[in-house]
């Protein structure tokens, strides 16, 4: 699979499914649909031990498909599951501490960047990426206008890549791409109907191939 290096790429947020085997099967199936840069695995309501089991099933499935597996929040789970990275939604200080401790062995990114000031503070920690939105913030068909605006502002002036949370409509990926953001995160847009997930990923990649702006080298 060739990676589309010069346009916005897809990041998936693993769906909230209590059965670890079913969750892994649905994610594996979705990843057959085409290019996905990474998959972020949230803890949702699971206790630490159960989250560990989910992560250990999901991480190899994600990596086998050529995507990076990013565990949300728990560095111990990330380490034990041999994940590629850690997604944090805390403040700049928490992100900075995690970067000092785990980079460059692990990808470390995220941030709770609700405004420009916070985003710049997070940027000073030099994360691998910054995330605009919340992992479960896909509550409307379109991406949140504030996150689109932050992504556009960031992408126009800062070299650190950004991921912008999309909406529940797969077409929201294009609106994110048009901001200049390097990555668009989708959850319900892909996993709301698991049987269609691979074809939805194929459709999103085709849409981005055709219409997403290209990055300059």
For the chain, which domains are there? 9-210 (3.20.20.70)
> Do residues 51 and 77 touch, judged by C-beta distance below 8 A?
yes
SS3 88: strand
Q: How far is CA 13 from CA 68, 120, 126, 208, in A?
A: 12, 24, 23, 18
pTM metric for this prediction:
0.97
The pLDDT tens digits for 147-178 are 999 999 999 999 999 999 999 999 999 999 99
The pLDDT tens digits for 63-98 are 999 999 999 999 999 999 999 999 999 899 999 999
Q: Tell how far CA 15 is from the center of its chain.
A: 12
Q: CB-based contacts of 16: which residues, under 8 Å, 6+ apart?
A: 42, 44, 45
Our CA dihedral for 55, 61, 62, 67, rounded to 10 degrees, sits at: 150
The pLDDT tens digits for 19-58 are 999 999 999 999 999 999 999 999 999 999 999 999 999 9
Q: How far is the C-alpha of 58 from the C-alpha of 169, rounded, in Å?
A: 25
């Amino acid at each position: 699979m060739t990676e589309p290096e010069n346009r916005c790429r897809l990041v998936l947020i693993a769906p909230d499914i209590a059965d670890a085997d079913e969750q892994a099967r649905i994610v594996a199936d979705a990843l057959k649909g085409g290019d996905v840069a990474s998959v972020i695995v949230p803890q949702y309501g699971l206790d630490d031990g159960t989250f560990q089991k989910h992560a250990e099933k999901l991480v190899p499935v994600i990596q086998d498909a050529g995507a990076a597996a990013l565990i949300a929040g728990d560095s111990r789970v990330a380490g034990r599951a041999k994940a590629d990275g850690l997604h944090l939604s805390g403040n700049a200080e928490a992100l900075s501490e995690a970067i000092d401790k785990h980079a460059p062995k692990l990808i470390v990114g995220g941030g709770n960047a609700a405004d420009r000031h916070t985003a710049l503070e997070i940027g000073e920690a030099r994360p691998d990426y910054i995330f605009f939105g919340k992992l479960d913030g896909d509550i409307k068909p379109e991406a949140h206008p504030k996150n689109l605006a932050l992504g556009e502002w960031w992408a126009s002036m800062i070299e650190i890549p950004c991921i912008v949370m999309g909406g529940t409509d797969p077409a929201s990926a294009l609106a994110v791409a048009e901001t200049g953001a390097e990555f668009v995160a989708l959850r319900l847009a892909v996993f709301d109907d698991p049987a269609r997930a691979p074809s939805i990923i194929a459709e999103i990649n085709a849409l981005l191939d055709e219409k997403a702006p290209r990055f300059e080298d």
